[in-house]
A and B are shown apart, each in its own frame.
Chain A
Amino acid sequence: MKTEDYILSKRKYVLGFASIFVVAIYILRLFALQMTSEDYKMRADSNALMRRIQFPARGAITDRNGTLLVYNQPAYDIMVVMQEQEGVDTLDLCESLGIDIEWYKRRMAEIKDRSRNPGYSRFTQQLFMSQLSMEEFSNFHEKQFRFPGFYIQKRSIRQYAFPYAAHILGDIGEVNPADIEADEYYRMGDYIGKQGIERSYEKQLRGIKGSEILLRDVHGRIKGRYQDGRFDEQPIPGKNLTLSIDIELQKLGERLMQNKLGSIVAIEPSTGEILCMVTSPTYDPRSMVGRQRGKKHHELSMDPMKPLLNRAIMGTYPPGSTFKTSQALTFLQEGIITKETAYPCSHGFHFGGLKVGCHGHGSPLPLVPAIGTSCNGYFCWGLYHMFNNRQLYHSTQEAMTRWKDYMVSMGFGYTLGVDLPGEKRGMIPNADYYDKAYKGSWSGLTVISISIGQGEVTLTPLQIANLGATIANRGWFITPHIVKEVQDGHIDSLYTQRRRTMVSPEYYEIVCDGMQRAVEAGTCRSAYTTNYVTCGKTGTAQNRGHDHSVFMGFAPREHPQIAIAVYVENGGWGANYGVPLGALMMEQYINGHLSEASEAKAETFANKVINYGDYVR
């Protein structure tokens, strides 16, 4: 053993010599680099390389008819090199740029503060003032020779052709530290989509940065391109997007909704393309460009009416009677009712002490007129019979679960998956929910109001419009989406695949009969037109204040071109606002314009103001 240990301990010499060998080689290498040639010294003095990023142009955005909505416009940043700017007449500079001396001092201190500006160097250009307008720029440009050390850098900012569709288009802003950490692409001062499709299609819109390698001298001055640009990479511009929006329809929608709270969403049923998505109140997207973005954004975020909220996908509302169509479909498919089943309604649904009111109409009545007149009693009875049916379901819980599955298959209760950020899922209660809420003791009667779209049920206007599209298609829908085409690219297969509901097409025909009757002889009579067959359903959603006015419909009945949801907060009866607004929108889209009479009507509605007082929602 001893000899073996002795032999092993000799290995220390191998390791020791290995260390000496490596250090000796490295010292020789240092000698070769530092002592034998002046080459590196000269290169350090004259030939240092610098990489400069070249920014790609962001993709442009057009509407479904090719009308340009968003494009790029040059803007100018003022850059400063601290080392060179000493001795500049500060007062003159401030005057030329239209800033006060305090702002100047604060900005200079910010630039030098390394905790805020980690990349600071006295020799390189630092951002002094960003996004000057053309006018400000030309003012400064004339006098620039008086301000050595101040440079102008061109960059592009977004410009909007119309004051509409702010929530859809969104905007861009400077990246924050979290963005930089999450994605290698971004550097300090880069722009990133903050809202709307600018955010959800950021990767397609932004393009690929290029770079050029420049030669720089010891003072950081640029001397030329390295090897005549052999290693330069050209930036690749971002992809253009074509939206499914019809800007004329969007414009009419925003006009009709002014001075009201709510939303209008229209979908092309055969493709799931969103034709318009109005949310009110809104703002002018052109006000969110350039240096005023921060201030404007703050102002909007403080507004109690919440203009930044995209109510079409973020507002969750009780759907009211528009929801009855989904109930009729569920009851038919489950065999609870047939087309002929009639239920009594004596000014509402009465059971024990429970009463759900209804307006006066003939009784008992079958399904088609029940939809036409929007009878509350009918659907309460339907749900009551479904939830108490012990041949089909072992328990109320099981019936509830079955019911929930139908609702989910129609796109309720979960986000639909629209290609805009911030979509809400709404609320479809399940058995667990009521077990918890009522500690297990509840029945169909307890939850009866869900059958008329009240109670716990909430949907987004997009989900209501999608219900219209599903009925128009007789039982399927394509996930609603706002981007119709990406230049040289594919859209997500999510937006091309049909999603079927659990209800057969023949039952949809019955509901279409009901909705046609509502337009011809029921609650939606003001939507009637001789040009095409319209199907519609009103909703009057109760809430703490004045009722919400809702309309869901589509037209024409055969080969439908448009499905629509209108939601006007505190607008009263569905027929007050929902129906006429929906009818005008459908006319605009199908005919491409409004008739003279309709135009007058549109003007009247555009001028109507709903007073929300200081009610904060």
Chain B
Amino acid sequence: MATTSDKSKSIFAGIDWLTILLYVLLLAMGWMSICGACYEYGDPRDFLSLASFSSRTGMQLVWIGTSMVLGFVILMTDERLFDTFAYLIYGLMMVLLLITPFLAHDIKGSLSWIKIGSFSLQPAEFAKFATALALAKFMSSYGFKFQGSWKNILISSAMIMMPLVLIVMQKETGSALVYFSLVLMLYREGLPGFILFLGIAAITYVVVGLRFSESEAIGSYISWGDIYVVLLIIFFVLILYVVYCRPAAIREALSSNHALGSFDSIQRMRYLYIVLFAIGSIVIHLSASTLVDHLAEHQKNRVYVLLGLRDDPNGVGYNVNQAKIAIGSGGLEGKGFLNGTQTKLKYVPEQETDFIFCTVGEEQGFVGSAAVLLLFLFLLLRLIHLAERQPGAFGRVYGYCVFSIIFFHLLINIGMVLGLMPVIGIPLPFFSYGGSSLWGFTLLLFIFLRIDAGRMRMQR
């Protein structure tokens, strides 16, 4: 029987302080970037006034403070609560998402913000941890198994699609796309690897095919895009062959409990799958390019600009162009804290939200921005480590949800700012200005830390 002091001691002992350190470091660098983005170049006001609550810098300080309190409160709770109430939290959150568009004020076409007093909250940011909890609970239920159970795959997918659809209805496509990242968690939990592979292959075909669809290679019928896609398909087929059809791979499959049949029959089946993959790839490529061909010119243009494939200095392309100039002008060491000029003159739009990484690039240079990326990498790898050390599926699934969501935000947000990814407006975790996003990520992360800290108890 543990006494109260014993229990609290054991709770703090189990907490992963390394993750908390990374979290605090990211918050600190994030706040410095917000200062840079909001600070007026040449402003004679002293630095302290940055912290006044009328400015965004001051407000972000409030969000950071409240987030830390929130994190502390979560660490003080009993992690079994999250398991018990997972479905309830998920259900309530879905109801909230459903009614949000009706309560919301239309802010530049988005129906995702609810006004409470003088503050606006974005419920979509809080749906992430709720979905992760519900998935963790479902996938840790007794006898749950992915392989061979389409029913389980379907139910988990439905749990992911529900918030996705509801958020699309709020016209926040970017935030909705985040839920696709949970495929990574499903993959770890046993979703057949070829599904992930197919998905990535399909996206690659579409983007590569469209990107080069207008440069003619042979006559007017075959573009360079078609040729590149064919090369990609050959490349993918080769990878599949090496991974699955080598004699060694087949012998390995034969030795595992699940494979039935002779060496030859397995080899024949696998060849068949690879042929099917190649045919499917060609169909996907042809249907995507036919679809785009049939769009009206302005719609086509919209698709290209959205994919970041066409220059548009007046619209979306303008942002990316400005972002690249801001980052590029940072050089090795950057211009120094509060000394960036591009961000100060308001060249970069959304500079304290979606394009916050520009400020890092401009003021901290290559050294600072690479450091931020490495910090995120450490956090991601640490999350994998923590997830793997969970004794049960609940903690592991939740942990991989956290990993997947942060990975996706990093991939898209920084990729967009660097001009490598299409412009999809989602925030950079712990950096972008805004209470909803910061609270959302804090909840997501600290619930995992709480679950992780309780792993000893489950072992007992």
- The residues of A with any CB-CB pair to B shorter than 8 Å are 3-4, 7-9, 11-12, 14-16, 18-20, 22-23, 25-27, 29-31, 33-35, 37, 39-41, 43-45, 47-51, 83, 114-115, 119-124, 181-182, 184, 211, 213, 216, 218, 220, 226, 231, 233
Q: Which residues of B contact A25 (CB under 8 A)?
A: 420
* CB under 8 Å from chain A, chain B span 68-89: none
Q: Which residues of A contact B329 (CB under 8 A)?
A: 40-41, 43-45
29 A/B residue pairs, CB under 8 Å, sorted by A: A11-B193, A12-B384, A15-B184, A15-B400, A16-B381, A19-B381, A25-B420, A26-B373, A30-B370, A30-B373, A34-B327, A34-B331, A34-B365, A43-B325, A44-B325, A44-B326, A44-B341, A45-B329, A48-B322, A49-B313, A114-B55, A122-B41, A123-B41, A124-B346, A181-B107, A184-B108, A213-B313, A226-B313, A231-B314
**Interchain CB contact under 8 A, A8 and B257:** no
What's the least CB distance linking B445 to chain A, in Å?
A: 16
Asked if B336 lies at the interface with its beta carbon under 8 angstroms from chain A, I say: no
Known: A8-B190, A30-B418. Contact between A40 and B328, CB under 8 A? yes
Contact with A along B324-347 (1 / 0, CB 8 A): 111111111000000001100111
Known: A23-B376, A181-B105. Contact between A29 and B420, CB under 8 A? yes
**Interchain CB contact under 8 A, B345 and A34:** no
Q: Please pick, from B42, B147, B374, B377, the residue contacting A4 in the complex, using a CB distance under 8 A.
A: B147
Asked if B149 lies at the interface with its beta carbon under 8 angstroms from chain A, I say: no
**Interchain CB contact under 8 A, A184 and B257:** no
Q: Which residues of A contact B407 (CB under 8 A)?
A: 15, 18-19, 22
Known: A3-B256, A83-B42. Contact between A9 and B325, CB under 8 A? no
Known: A35-B332, A49-B321. Contact between A44 and B342, CB under 8 A? yes
**Interchain CB contact under 8 A, B325 and A121:** no
Q: Please pick, from A20, A26, A34, A181, the residue contacting B330 in the complex, using a CB distance under 8 A.
A: A34
Q: Please pick, from A16, A35, A49, the residue contacting B347 in the complex, using a CB distance under 8 A.
A: A49
What's the least CB distance linking A211 to chain B, in Å?
A: 7
**Interchain CB contact under 8 A, B369 and A30:** yes
Asked if B304 lies at the interface with its beta carbon under 8 angstroms from chain A, I say: no
Known: A4-B147, A26-B418, A233-B314. Contact between A48 and B345, CB under 8 A? yes
Q: Which residue of A lies closest to B373 (CB)?
A: A23
Asked if B65 lies at the interface with its beta carbon under 8 angstroms from chain A, I say: no
Q: Which of B159-167, B172-180, B288-296, B408-416 contacts A (4 or more CB under 8 A)?
A: B408-416
**Interchain CB contact under 8 A, A19 and B377:** yes
Number of B residues near A (Cβ < 8 Å) is 63
Asked if B244 lies at the interface with its beta carbon under 8 angstroms from chain A, I say: no
**Interchain CB contact under 8 A, A114 and B54:** yes
A83 to B345 Cα, complex, angstroms: 13
A35 to B407 Cα, complex, angstroms: 26
A35 to B258 Cα, complex, angstroms: 53
Asked if B188 lies at the interface with its beta carbon under 8 angstroms from chain A, I say: yes
What's the least CB distance linking B417 to chain A, in Å?
A: 10
**Interchain CB contact under 8 A, A216 and B318:** no
**Interchain CB contact under 8 A, A41 and B331:** yes
Q: Which residue of B lies closest to A83 (CB)?
A: B42
What's the least CB distance linking B279 to chain A, in Å?
A: 26
Q: Which residue of A lies closest to B346 (CB)?
A: A121
Q: Which residue of B lies closest to A41 (CB)?
A: B329
What's the least CB distance linking B431 to chain A, in Å?
A: 14
- The residues of B with any CB-CB pair to A shorter than 8 Å are 40-43, 54-55, 105-109, 147, 184, 187-190, 193, 256-258, 313-314, 318, 321-322, 324-332, 341-342, 345-347, 361, 365-366, 369-370, 373-374, 376-377, 380-381, 384, 387-388, 400, 403, 407, 410-411, 414-415, 418, 420
A231 to B321 Cα, complex, angstroms: 14
What's the least CB distance linking A449 to chain B, in Å?
A: 44
**Which secondary structure dominates chain A's binding surface?**
helix
**Interchain CB contact under 8 A, B318 and A49:** yes
**Interchain CB contact under 8 A, A37 and B328:** yes
Known: A26-B373, A231-B314. Contact between A35 and B366, CB under 8 A? yes
Q: Which residues of B contact A120 (CB under 8 A)?
A: 40
What's the least CB distance linking B196 to chain A, in Å?
A: 9
What's the least CB distance linking B430 to chain A, in Å?
A: 16
**Interchain CB contact under 8 A, B328 and A123:** no
A27 to B107 Cα, complex, angstroms: 35
**Interchain CB contact under 8 A, B327 and A122:** no
A31 to B43 Cα, complex, angstroms: 31
A479 to B279 Cα, complex, angstroms: 63
A121 to B351 Cα, complex, angstroms: 15
What's the least CB distance linking A208 to chain B, in Å?
A: 14
What's the least CB distance linking A37 to chain B, in Å?
A: 7
Q: Which residues of A contact B321 (CB under 8 A)?
A: 49
**Interchain CB contact under 8 A, A26 and B345:** no
Ordered nearest first, which 8 A-B pairs have the shortest CB separation?
Answer: A40-B328, A44-B329, A23-B377, A34-B366, A19-B380, A33-B328, A41-B329, A29-B418
What's the least CB distance linking B347 to chain A, in Å?
A: 5
Q: Which residues of B contact A27 (CB under 8 A)?
A: 370, 373-374
Q: Please pick, from B40, B346, B361, B403, the residue contacting A15 in the complex, using a CB distance under 8 A.
A: B403
Q: Please pick, from B189, B373, B380, the residue contacting A8 in the complex, using a CB distance under 8 A.
A: B189
Most buried by B among A8, A11, A15, A35: A15
Q: Which residue of A lies closest to B332 (CB)?
A: A35
Q: Apart from A12-B188, A40-B324, A44-B326, what 13 extra A-B contacts exist at CB < 8 Å?
A: A4-B258, A12-B388, A16-B380, A22-B407, A30-B327, A30-B370, A34-B330, A35-B332, A44-B341, A45-B329, A48-B342, A115-B54, A181-B107
**Interchain CB contact under 8 A, B313 and A16:** no
What's the least CB distance linking A425 to chain B, in Å?
A: 27
What's the least CB distance linking A10 to chain B, in Å?
A: 10
Q: Which residue of A lies closest to B410 (CB)?
A: A22
What's the least CB distance linking A240 to chain B, in Å?
A: 28
A400 to B243 Cα, complex, angstroms: 85
**Interchain CB contact under 8 A, A34 and B384:** no
Q: Which residues of B contact A22 (CB under 8 A)?
A: 407, 410-411
What's the least CB distance linking B304 to chain A, in Å?
A: 16
A50 to B347 Cα, complex, angstroms: 7
Q: Which residues of A contact B105 (CB under 8 A)?
A: 181
What's the least CB distance linking B44 to chain A, in Å?
A: 9
A31 to B387 Cα, complex, angstroms: 32
**Interchain CB contact under 8 A, A181 and B377:** no
Q: Which residue of A lies closest to B256 (CB)?
A: A3
Q: Which residues of B contact A44 (CB under 8 A)?
A: 325-326, 328-329, 341-342
**Interchain CB contact under 8 A, A9 and B377:** no
Known: A23-B374, A23-B377, A181-B106. Contact between A122 and B313, CB under 8 A? no
Q: Which residues of A contact B380 (CB under 8 A)?
A: 16, 19
A45 to B256 Cα, complex, angstroms: 63
Q: Which residues of A contact B420 (CB under 8 A)?
A: 25-26, 29
Q: Which residue of B lies closest to A184 (CB)?
A: B108
**Interchain CB contact under 8 A, A123 and B345:** yes
Q: Which residues of B contact A29 (CB under 8 A)?
A: 418, 420
A27 to B372 Cα, complex, angstroms: 10
**Interchain CB contact under 8 A, B55 and A26:** no
Known: A44-B342, A182-B106. Contact between A211 and B314, CB under 8 A? yes
Q: Which residue of B lies closest to A42 (CB)?
A: B329
Q: Which residues of B contact A45 (CB under 8 A)?
A: 329
Q: Which residue of B lies closest to A118 (CB)?
A: B56
Q: Which residues of B contact A39 (CB under 8 A)?
A: 328
**Interchain CB contact under 8 A, A231 and B313:** yes
Q: Which residues of A contact B388 (CB under 8 A)?
A: 9, 12
Q: Which residues of B contact A220 (CB under 8 A)?
A: 345
**Interchain CB contact under 8 A, A40 and B325:** yes
What's the least CB distance linking A13 to chain B, in Å?
A: 9
A8 to B314 Cα, complex, angstroms: 48
A328 to B253 Cα, complex, angstroms: 96
**Interchain CB contact under 8 A, A48 and B384:** no
**Interchain CB contact under 8 A, A216 and B345:** yes
Q: Which residue of B lies closest to A43 (CB)?
A: B325
What's the least CB distance linking B392 to chain A, in Å?
A: 12
Q: Which residues of A contact B188 (CB under 8 A)?
A: 8, 11-12, 15
A115 to B376 Cα, complex, angstroms: 34
